[in-house]
Structure 1
């Protein structure tokens, strides 16, 4: 679309030129072609930008700026090329289409496509396009290529400065035809490399930049053509709602930016630290950000020049301390001594100059390297398979959490004898040490199991005769009065009455099926929360006793602390520590209050809840299933730390129990797992399901039931699954937290939430696995299967907006 006064057209023709103040737009209005000035200059350039001029993706007259606003864009007089003219009608840029490709009698037009590609058309056939002539920005459908036969390269070239789009000293290209990877060059010197492409990922990228784990990079591909002599790197947009750029900055940094529905959702520098500088530690050196200085020699090597090395000039690199077996034969003519082996370096960026073999297995790769005197290291990747190296090892980086490969470094036997810990050895030698370690581990493990079995048997014996939770309420109360709940203080009613101002309405802070909750203050100034059982509430009475029994045994920073109870006459009360910041739902579902819940605070709450559940399921003296996890039962202390509360429906499991069954289904609609709602079966996986729903609510800022007025009557789980399979899951995220810097972390949490709400209980992860996923200790997440979708008929008790609401729910499977 050309904006000329009030008229609009979608193409440039010979009869419609574009002046400096005018633009041509793509049909969806996302891209524009026109004149612009970079920062700190008045020079005028013709460029294409996405959304606004801060996102320039292509420049025409890079080397020849126009000094004023007299320039125009038009079809040349020969009706063949698109040209940029200055005020004197001099050509400052031309598409340079060969006269063989276009006829002067043809109908040549220019059009800006919806992908940001400027095309020159002759009778609707493309004869020239901007994506085949990139500047400093890589976009969808563009091809970066290298042709080994012709030497031709299509590459990115940086601007000279942020104020000057002329070709700078940095370029980015595809290299290494046998195992392609991306290089950034400073003129003729490499300054960064991606590591080899294995069909899914670049092996030199950490998890933050993994193609396979980012929804924005799934269209990336590298193909080899013409018997491997032509290598092409391209990116296909998943759909029109996505847009991505890789910009080579004037400082040689690759900047990755992604948009979803024209909102920027991701921006980062691919080279983010000193270890990203190519070969910073020299030959046979290794870079590791976790240590200082960051450069060390590889195991079995020493600095070539110790004086320079100590001054942190690492360019000369390292040399071997001991000769390999092949070298001993070569230089001394003797094959005496033990043969070489390998030491394993996990999570390592593969060195440069790899020699791949796409057919060898892991064992074959090792034997191949060991039998080849020139082979100094090998690795195995299921995409490329066998990777080997000879000569000096250049550009090795050790990653701290994920990424890279397990690199097996060839070592002389004398070095293997020094480094014999099982975590680093993968050689012929040192196996006796590994065996010894395994035997010792088995023996120690057997002793620990025996000790645990003894104490377990003693513990289960002591548990016999404990309180039966199905006894009559009078017997249970008598047990408490007789102080059978150890270390639990009994408060006098008169003290509670005084602390709560006679249960005055001003002190009332909550209402639920159990009864009312009041804020109070003891004589020593301690603030408390008092849950007062409603008269005549049979369900509440059982919940009261259950909560006393359960929570009196628990101590964890993410569980609300029970201070004691009060039982006098008909009065039955629980006394808790007071939580000044109310419950999670008080903030999460309020359009104003939720603003204080930024992503870091929400993540802190998610992690705290997960740790609390892990304690209940695995680490406490009792194994406990909560059965009513929801935002109203997550209380927040003065520092917004989450604490799981309301254990009225919790169940205690014995040591060998993994699942329970009940005919009485109590819970809250939208949070109950399908096996519990329909069959009465509950287990740890029931809480996992509730946690998954809660996690998705925290990220979306919406209740599970908030979609019932939707035209398709979707629940939150149905909606989340729908947009997940449509690859539009970003639209689930609460706009208050949808920021580029934390998007990948949020998307990972959504993935974890969907794993937790899978319909089949055994497919859901354990709480220990969830905690590991949240901490990125488990890097690669399995794909989720469809969540459980439920129809409901619900009876509610109390106010569901209260943090103490309790509901009785009957559900049917869809």
Structure 2
């Protein structure tokens, strides 16, 4: 019988015995299929033999090239995905490895070269003994040492207690407080090196427990405390029929775990080598892991970017603001958008006289709870009273919001509030303690300043009067419309309601007279420009609201279908990087769309104009790139539909007063169903220079078509040049070809617009340029998704793959047309967009 303790020396006889056993086992059992155990008599050798769980879910064996490791990976996932590694810090570099189980129940990895023990399962947490030990790989991916033939649940050792970079369903991330065992995830050093890196994720027990992501000893991101439904810092987290979550805080243990309820659903949580925590889902038809969720994903996810008592909001510019009743600690740094010093109280708290009160921060990720206290026996009202009675208490919140009402349990803070952020949806209420004078100011800011009761009453009366008059005017206008457009109401119903039955668009219909007055009877002086849809006019409703009116031209190459498409699609879309549709006008033969007005016009008007382009510094350009990426991610993944824009270009990106980008023009967009990933069309629409090769040539479009257009935009934004140009007279290269040549020559920074200050951050510019090149690769499957693009843009440590051959960078002859087809008669005369009809 062979035992791990039988042969521990380095003698020739010992090595010969190991080699003989390895050869014998290799001959008698080469497949290992169906064998899920290792016993003292049957070790595992590095000869292609593996251990497979009973249900053929996971495999345990040796892997690696040059350096060999013992690991566990999925059996049925075609891409080898290692979820656990035993000897991650000590690979086998000489000879062949042997994983053996000793009679005392200890697993060891040795080599047949010198019998050095590279890894052992012995640990201070392992206690007890087994008379007949066996090491078994279970179908949940857990590798356990237990008593052979026993039905007892006792396990002397299990791999789930020593995770590497992956959390599987049923695994625990956190602490066993009885044994002192801390289970955390540690990222691999690289894609091929499983050695522990500096990135780790685990449960911090200080105060009220939370999960943190660390970079070395620095806290990089946190989940926020568990509130009974989810972590307060992950508003999108919710259980459903396939996936559920749990966070247990008990006197014996504190841990997070997740569970899969559909056997066909394969999901894992990892910390990758770039310091990003991700939930990945295996997509069998695509043969790839799809990012389901990741963090950190924006500036506000970094720990405390706005310092003590500051609030971070990624949808605002600047992202940092002080809590009501607070002011910046360092105003000069604050003006330079560095809020890390945080904020100070305007007025000290008055505990003696009991005049303090609370202001509510809605939709908050609760502040860092490392120094917070929790009492689950208190109601929220009792929590408020207790906080007021404690002179050190600065804020309180409900510990559990899963029940009916405002919540139960009480979290209180007695120090500065750090790492506080807010969400558009999600989060929870935080009650911040303020002095009476600051509380009045906070109320005034939230409700609007008012001088006295009489003025308020007068305003209310006036408002009611205006509302009544407005209602009367609206009724009159509705009657006017109904009498003046008999056939066009049927148009409105047919094109805006029929195909969207059950979907209330809630889109205002403007009267033609109102729009005529607002635009000065469509005055030439108010004309902003003209596109494929028709002319665009500036208008003004009332005294303050400025609008942009797109008027469908009778000679437009776009028509009723595009008009309907834009109304139906954009009416329900709400995102800070999408232009907002205010309403439409359908009267007589007029069809118009009314948008919010963008004072800084379109991106191309700024980017390709030398004078205006000089005003676009690097930070502005970077923010525009990130904003467009977030808008596209919303369209592709986060909106109620999956929408492909199909005509993303510089002229369809508008800039508001703060130079924030807004994607516009959805006339050519397409909605994809839940299971659709790509489609074919007989009608190719879009703009030459921004169209993906597979779309322009074969009519195949997908989210990767928009990714290609985004990549072109990125390179245009950085270079200040249009893609449709000649940048090398000898080779007739367009901008993409020029960029590719510079990249291969190691001169990619030569592409940066000369008007950009040379003090720009080189690594950030290089990263953006490389992302742009990745997006315009020729093969759609090589291009990243927009979720990956946002991740890469927001992470300085993200490891980017090398771009492959780009699309549309081949040489062009001097006589070749700018058209994307050899049939000129098939192309619209509109210089902005093309429409190709081609039989397939």
- C-alpha distance in 1 between matches for 2:557 and 2:319: 48
- C-alpha distance in 1 between matches for 2:134 and 2:441: 72
| Corresponding residue number in structure 1 for 2:391 | 373
Equivalent residue in structure 1 for 2:444, among 421, 432, 442: 421
Asked whether 1:392 is paired with 2:392, we answer: no
CA contact (8 A) 1:71 1:86 kept: yes
Aligned pairs for 1:206-355 within 5 A: 206-207=235-236, 210-212=237-239, 218-225=243-250, 228-261=251-284, 263-291=288-316, 294-304=319-329, 316-326=341-351, 329=352, 335=353, 339-353=355-369, 354-355=372-373
- C-alpha distance in 1 between matches for 2:316 and 2:135: 56
- C-alpha distance in 2 between matches for 1:131 and 1:245: 14
- C-alpha distance in 1 between matches for 2:341 and 2:87: 43
Asked whether 1:15 is paired with 2:42, we answer: yes
| Corresponding residue number in structure 2 for 1:74 | 100
- Structure 2: give runs of 5+ residues left out of the alignment: 1-24, 489-511, 514-531, 535-547, 574-579, 589-643, 650-669, 681-779, 789-836
CA contact (8 A) 2:60 2:72 kept: yes
Query: How far did 1:202 drift?
Result: 0.5
Per the alignment, do residues 433 and 22 of structure 1 end up closer, same or farther by CA in structure 2, a change over 3 Å counting? Answer: farther
| Corresponding residue number in structure 1 for 2:141 | 116
Aligned pairs for 1:585-600 within 5 A: none
- C-alpha distance in 1 between matches for 2:322 and 2:297: 22
- C-alpha distance in 1 between matches for 2:173 and 2:255: 6
Post-superposition Cα deviations, 1:551-581, rounded to whole Å, max 9, x if no partner, equal: xxxxx9999x795xxxxxxxxxxxx966599
The TM-score, its normalising length taken from structure 2, stands at: 0.51
Post-superposition Cα deviations, 1:123-162, rounded to whole Å, max 9, x if no partner, equal: 2445432112212221111012324566442222344555
Aligned pairs for 1:294-693 within 5 A: 294-304=319-329, 316-326=341-351, 329=352, 335=353, 339-353=355-369, 354-358=372-376, 360-380=378-398, 382-383=401-402, 385=408, 387-421=410-444, 423=446, 440-441=459-460, 443-457=462-476, 459-460=478-479, 463=482, 607-608=569-570, 639=647
- C-alpha distance in 2 between matches for 1:452 and 1:582: 32
Aligned pairs for 1:91-240 within 5 A: 91-96=117-122, 100-103=128-131, 106=132, 108-125=133-150, 126-148=155-177, 151-160=180-189, 164-176=193-205, 179-186=208-215, 188-207=217-236, 210-212=237-239, 218-225=243-250, 228-240=251-263
- C-alpha distance in 2 between matches for 1:244 and 1:436: 60
Query: How far did 1:458 drift?
Result: 6.9
- C-alpha distance in 2 between matches for 1:325 and 1:605: 55
- C-alpha distance in 2 between matches for 1:436 and 1:737: 63
Post-superposition Cα deviations, 1:166-196, rounded to whole Å, max 9, x if no partner, equal: 4444432223487442123345553322111
CA contact (8 A) 1:421 1:433 kept: no
CA contact (8 A) 2:43 2:98 kept: no
CA contact (8 A) 1:356 1:385 kept: no
Per the alignment, do residues 321 and 157 of structure 1 end up closer, same or farther by CA in structure 2, a change over 3 Å counting? Answer: same
- Give 3-state SS (helix, strand or coil) of 1:375's partner: coil
Q: Look at both structures and tell me which one has the larger radius of gyration over its CA atoms.
A: 1
Post-superposition Cα deviations, 1:770-796, rounded to whole Å, max 9, x if no partner, equal: xxxxxxxxxxxxxxxxxxxxxxxxxxx
Per the alignment, do residues 155 and 291 of structure 1 end up closer, same or farther by CA in structure 2, a change over 3 Å counting? Answer: same
- Give 3-state SS (helix, strand or coil) of 1:352's partner: coil
| Corresponding residue number in structure 2 for 1:633 | none
| Corresponding residue number in structure 2 for 1:86 | 111
- Give 3-state SS (helix, strand or coil) of 1:607's partner: helix
CA contact (8 A) 1:606 1:695 kept: no
- C-alpha distance in 2 between matches for 1:603 and 1:29: 49
CA contact (8 A) 2:109 2:117 kept: yes
Per the alignment, do residues 458 and 386 of structure 1 end up closer, same or farther by CA in structure 2, a change over 3 Å counting? Answer: same
| Corresponding residue number in structure 2 for 1:43 | 67
CA contact (8 A) 2:105 2:145 kept: no
Query: How far did 1:462 drift?
Result: 8.3
Query: How far did 1:256 drift?
Result: 2.3
- Structure 1: give runs of 5+ residues left out of the alignment: 330-334, 470-485, 488-525, 529-555, 564-575, 585-601, 624-635, 642-692, 704-735, 745-802, 804-814
- C-alpha distance in 1 between matches for 2:293 and 2:442: 39
Query: How far did 1:239 drift?
Result: 1.9
Post-superposition Cα deviations, 1:470-503, rounded to whole Å, max 9, x if no partner, equal: xxxxxxxxxxxxxxxx99xxxxxxxxxxxxxxxx
Query: How far did 1:408 drift?
Result: 2.6
- C-alpha distance in 2 between matches for 1:605 and 1:619: 8
- C-alpha distance in 1 between matches for 2:560 and 2:587: 29
| Corresponding residue number in structure 1 for 2:813 | none
- Give 3-state SS (helix, strand or coil) of 1:423's partner: helix
CA contact (8 A) 2:145 2:156 kept: yes
- C-alpha distance in 2 between matches for 1:418 and 1:286: 17
- C-alpha distance in 1 between matches for 2:175 and 2:459: 55
Query: How far did 1:367 drift?
Result: 4.1
- C-alpha distance in 1 between matches for 2:59 and 2:477: 77
CA contact (8 A) 1:275 1:289 kept: yes
CA contact (8 A) 1:268 1:741 kept: no
- C-alpha distance in 1 between matches for 2:31 and 2:560: 56
| Corresponding residue number in structure 1 for 2:4 | none
- C-alpha distance in 2 between matches for 1:637 and 1:250: 33
| Corresponding residue number in structure 2 for 1:663 | none
| Corresponding residue number in structure 1 for 2:503 | none
The TM-score, its normalising length taken from structure 1, stands at: 0.52
Query: How far did 1:307 drift?
Result: 6.7
- C-alpha distance in 2 between matches for 1:72 and 1:26: 19
CA contact (8 A) 2:325 2:441 kept: no
CA contact (8 A) 1:20 1:69 kept: no
- Give 3-state SS (helix, strand or coil) of 2:358's partner: strand
Query: How far did 1:392 drift?
Result: 2.4
Query: How far did 1:197 drift?
Result: 0.7
Query: How far did 1:456 drift?
Result: 1.4
